[in-house]
Chains A and B, each alone.
Chain A
Amino acid sequence: MTVKLPAHMHPSRSFQGLILTLHEYWANYGCVVLQPYDLEVGAGTFHPATTLRALGPKPWNAAYVQPSRRPKDGRYGENPNRLQHYYQYQVILKPNPVNLQELYLGSLDAIGVDPLLHDIRFVEDDWESPTLGAWGLGWECWCDGMEVSQFTYFQQVCGIECAPVAGELTYGLERLAMYVQGVDNVYDLNFNGREGAEKVTYGDVFLQAEQEYSRYNFEHADTAMLLKHFEDAEAECEALLKAGADRVDGKPHQMVLPAYDQCIKASHVFNLLDARGVISVTERQSYILRVRNLSRQCGEAFLQTEAGGFGYIGEAA
């Protein structure tokens, strides 16, 4: 599965080339290549293509880039490694193929990481998302001592056992790009692969955004309004789940995805409130539990839909 891109689009020269190479690699494998989800999320896992599709018996293979927002990690554009908005490349394969590790290593090879030149290691890292009621076992994948990906076998999502288990790969795109481009500051990444006047850097694209959002996240976000948004999203999520479940027997659930959107919103609002420092240690736990409660209900409802395997008999043996 060799990927042919013009030289300036090679991952060692361009950020977008890295993304395109991964797209092509995983498209060739048979994944549906999706676009980012259009809501603010803290990680690629929140995309319904992962959270919800990891549930139920139906096979599902997808790959996509997901902008991830971590309001607390903002550094006003002053830290060469930390961003409040960055990209994750997410691959979800259900059930996980037995050669998932080899597939992953193949993707590194595709972006120019030679395993006989670089020291690639799978170092224990158990993944857990308290808000999603999810956990799995796997590794941090190290390249010459740097963590470049997360590799997880999902065991539980939304508090529900995964049957079958899905394998999730999450590439930290900026880190990986900094590595293959040999750059020490994220803002120096070559974005488009051109040189001279035509060159566009990561900083050209995102530096101003990092500065502005850091101001917003830490100083200006209206906490009273956000608290209300949290309550509203929570209420809406539950109302939609209830309305969608109110159906003639034998019909699938009618409104899981819109309800799950509200769960995502509640989670992001919680992250913003957390960055503003208005949530005390004791309250923190209760907010996490409230989001988890929503995700659990969404997951249970999703199993009552066609995509979640409602009425699914399975493939002919």
Chain B
Amino acid sequence: MPDLLLELRSEEIPARMQRKAAGDLKKMVADGLVEAGLTYEAAREYWTPRRLTLDIRGLTARSRDVQEERRGPSTKAPEQAIAGFLRSAGLSDIGQAEIQSDPRKGDFYIARISKPGRAAEEIIAELIPAVIRAFPWPKSMRWGPASARPGSLHWVRPLQSIVCTFGPETEEPMVVDFEVGGIRSGNVTYGHRFHAPEAISVRRFEDYVAKLEAAKVVLDADRRKEIILADARNLAFANGLELVEDEGLLEEVSGLVEWPVVLLGEFEQDFLDIPAEVIRLTIRANQKCFVTRVQDEAENLSNRFILVANIEAKDGGKEIAHGNGKVVRARLSDAVHFWKTDQANVPDLGLLTASAERFGLDLAKPLDQRMARLDHLGVTFHAKLGTQGQRVERIARLAREIAPIVGADPELAARAAVLAKADLQTEIVGEFPELQGAMGRKYAALQGEDASVAAAIEEHYKPQGPSDRVPADPVSVAIALADKLDTLVGFWAIDEKPTGSKDPFALRRAALGVIRIVVENGVRLGLSDQFSHAATPILQGRLLDLPTVDLLSFFHDRLKVYLRDQGARHDLIDAVLAAGSHLISPSRGEIALSSNDDLLMIVRRVEALGKFLDSEDGKNLLAGTKRAANILAAEEKKKTRIADAVDPGLLAENTEKKLFAAVNQAEKEAGQAIQNEDFSAAMLALSALREPVDTFFEDVLVNAEDEAVRANRLALLARIRAATDQVADFSRIAG
């Protein structure tokens, strides 16, 4: 069966768009072919900076003939309806339609349309221009004389030529002829811009790839990546170095060259005095080069870097390496300048006294100056949540509150909080925002801060996601919690909550961060209290109300996601969170709510409940409790009277007397155990109910004839529900 080769050659496509564009091309063309009634065996896409290529194998040469039956209106339908039917069925006269009878509806017209199959090349010639015109580039442009007219072709950069050949392996393939935006398809392409500027005629994919390779173009991006990586490793190794690998950079660089040539560049040793991360980012961001380490060095970089050129230079790449070295040097000089500036006095030191006093800063120290400056300049955090200075004040205050809870020294916590955002005013973080925290830590260490203060400056941003490391040092934990709670409470107070897929302030991540810090460090934290601590300065003098319950339920939702990811049963989490919902007394309802604001306890309860339900006692008690709950629910629906409390005098049978005694006992013991936060003991106490509950249902008829007895027995069932409800709402547990 024939194969299709398509190449769209253009001026340089941005590296970050190439992979997706090639994938889009494959999908759009393949879908279009299938929709037109063709099938294919395999399709694969390729790309370089200057071309998107598609190789489709085993395409059917023609689409099948299609017989279609279209039902028309009744023979008695008005003329208009019949005319419409003729139009839609492509008939010129109603005589071409057949008449069919329906026993209920009478006679109606039917058209038999036969659509002959079409040649694949015809379908392709129609499809490709449509795909090109509708191509989903993130940003596209017009160009050349044609752009004087409206509706001219858009492409990511000027489109220069199109190769489109089609044919079976055994024959000379044909050019599928079409035109789009003034470009006519053909079988001619061009190789490397500088090494092979001559035209190349191609037939099919095999010779196309080979001819490109001969013209110094490696078509397959993954192969270019392999070449770069292997050559870079070898070149580094041969020079006693080790490549610092960087997948993102490798992907980008492979999209910047058609013929990768790896070279080694050099800069002065002196630059190695600045932090390795700064060197790496400077060289990566501006020059798209890889850094290296001396072999067997763990962290320190070497003064040589690896660059990827696009040509085999006449001089073996000396000039290229030399030129790149010069640029890298200029960039690193800037970085050194930033690094030194960040450790020198700020120019407006004289204006910072008031801010320094406000935060207890020592203006002799560089990082303290930066914090004072951040406050002094009134840099906005969020229009409705004040300046960065105000935010730092709030975080410091909250960190002090949280410190004793997590075992941190409140003074160190406050100091770390005050310096946590200071590096936002440093030159290096201005240049590389991704170094926020990391630079603050380095500068803090340089000015002699306590090690845990320095660490907290970096770690308070953690964890950044489900797999990031959770801070464990108490000072870090205090600042990390304070920072995240201030963010969450703040955005809740101004009603900027995440909606659907939109979460511009990363509030879900912040909540997950709080959850992971608390649970993985075993921290007991009453969230509601912390919400109100955090809210006090935010709400100051404003007529805003903090929706505490709403924020807590946001936390519960995030906790469910977290626990589910850890493999916990979804229904158990629901059951634990809903515990206490059947309690009648409003005062006890509050108790239940506040116990749900301690995330660690929720997790412990879910664990205990899971273990209990795995046991025989647990399973049976669950069945009995569910039975009680179902009966109650049914009777409640029927509005059957249920006594407010069990009247021991109305308990006739021995079994129900025993149950009543057991419920009283279990409720008391379980309640006590919960007070002591011993959930296993609470479960154990409840498991004593299993036997009397089972016997009760065997021996006693709840629906007694005597209305008072019935109401009393229902009250007894309600007590079973209430007793178990202290631990979890059993009705929400599956099975």
Contact = CB atoms under 8 A, between A and B. Distances in A.
B158 interface: yes
B149 A163 contact: yes
Interface string A120-143: 111110100000000011110001
A184 B142 CA distance: 39
A240 to B, nearest CB: 29
Given A116-B313, A155-B142, 19 more contacts: A57-B148, A98-B144, A115-B193, A116-B194, A116-B314, A119-B311, A119-B323, A121-B256, A123-B256, A124-B16, A137-B156, A145-B307, A153-B141, A153-B142, A153-B157, A163-B148, A163-B149, A164-B142, A184-B326
Which 4 pairs between the two chains have the least Cβ-Cβ distance? Answer: A144-B323, A124-B14, A164-B148, A145-B324
A132 B277 CA distance: 38
A117 interface: yes
Contacts, number: 105
B551 to A, nearest CB: 31
A145 B327 contact: yes
Contact of B320 (A118, A136, A138, A165): A118
A81 interface: yes
A95 interface: yes
Contact of A164 (B15, B147, B328, B330): B147
Contacts of A101: 11
A165 B147 CA distance: 6
B93 interface: no
Contacts of B49: 122
Contacts of A167: 143
A145 B328 contact: yes
16 contacts: A81-B330, A95-B145, A95-B148, A96-B143, A124-B15, A137-B141, A144-B324, A145-B323, A145-B324, A153-B143, A155-B141, A163-B149, A164-B144, A164-B148, A165-B141, A281-B380
Interface of A: 57, 81, 95-98, 101, 114-124, 126, 136-139, 143-146, 153, 155, 162-165, 167, 179, 184, 281
B139 A126 contact: yes
Contact of B147 (A95, A122, A137, A145): A95
Nearest to A115: B194
B308 to A, nearest CB: 9
B141 A146 contact: no
A165 B326 contact: no
Interface string B231-266: 000000000000000000000000011000000000
Interface in B313-337: 313-315, 319-320, 322-324, 326-328, 330
B165 interface: no
B309 interface: yes
B427 interface: no
Nearest to B16: A124
B136 to A, nearest CB: 16
B12 interface: yes
Nearest to B312: A116
Nearest to A280: B378
Contact of B12 (A122, A145, A164): A122
A163 B144 CA distance: 9
Contacts of B142: 153, 155, 164-165
B282 to A, nearest CB: 13
B310 A164 contact: no
Contact of A119 (B143, B157, B309): B309
B287 interface: yes
Interface of B: 11-12, 14-16, 49, 139-150, 156-158, 160, 193-195, 256-257, 287, 289, 307, 309-311, 313-315, 319-320, 322-324, 326-328, 330, 380
A101 B12 CA distance: 10
A136 B195 CA distance: 29
Contacts of A114: 314
B313 A117 contact: yes
Tell me the interface secondary structure of chain A in the complex: loop
A262 B12 CA distance: 38
A97 B158 CA distance: 11
A184 B322 CA distance: 12
A165 B143 contact: yes
B690 to A, nearest CB: 68
B45 to A, nearest CB: 20
Kindly name the residue among A95, A138, A144, A165 whose own CB sees the greatest number of chain B CB atoms within 10 A: A144
A115 B323 contact: no
A101 B197 CA distance: 13
A121 B257 CA distance: 8
B285 to A, nearest CB: 12
A146 B149 CA distance: 37
A146 B15 CA distance: 18
A57 B380 CA distance: 45
A126 B141 CA distance: 11
Nearest to A143: B323
A179 B325 CA distance: 12
Contacts of B15: 124
Nearest to A81: B330
A195 B376 CA distance: 53
Contacts of B257: 121
Nearest to A122: B12
A59 to B, nearest CB: 9
Contacts of A281: 380
Contacts of A117: 313-315, 319
A137 B307 CA distance: 26
A101 B194 CA distance: 12
B326 A146 contact: yes
A76 B361 CA distance: 33
B144 A95 contact: yes
B324 A137 contact: no
A72 to B, nearest CB: 14
Given A81-B330, A145-B307, A179-B323, A122 B11 contact: yes
Nearest to A101: B11
A146 B14 CA distance: 18
Kindly name the residue among B16, B146, B147, B194 whose own CB sees the greatest number of chain A CB atoms within 10 A: B147
A167 to B, nearest CB: 8
Contact of B327 (A116, A124, A146, A164): A146
B157 to A, nearest CB: 7
A119 B287 contact: no
B520 to A, nearest CB: 39
B158 A144 contact: no
Nearest to B348: A277
Contacts of A120: 194
Nearest to A146: B327
Contacts of A137: 139-141, 156-157
B266 to A, nearest CB: 13
Contacts of B143: 95-96, 153, 165, 167
Nearest to B261: A119
Contacts of A143: 323
A116 B317 CA distance: 10
Nearest to A145: B324
B141 A119 contact: no
Nearest to A154: B141
Nearest to B14: A124
Nearest to B331: A145
A95 B141 CA distance: 14
A143 B158 CA distance: 22
Nearest to B319: A117
B11 A115 contact: no
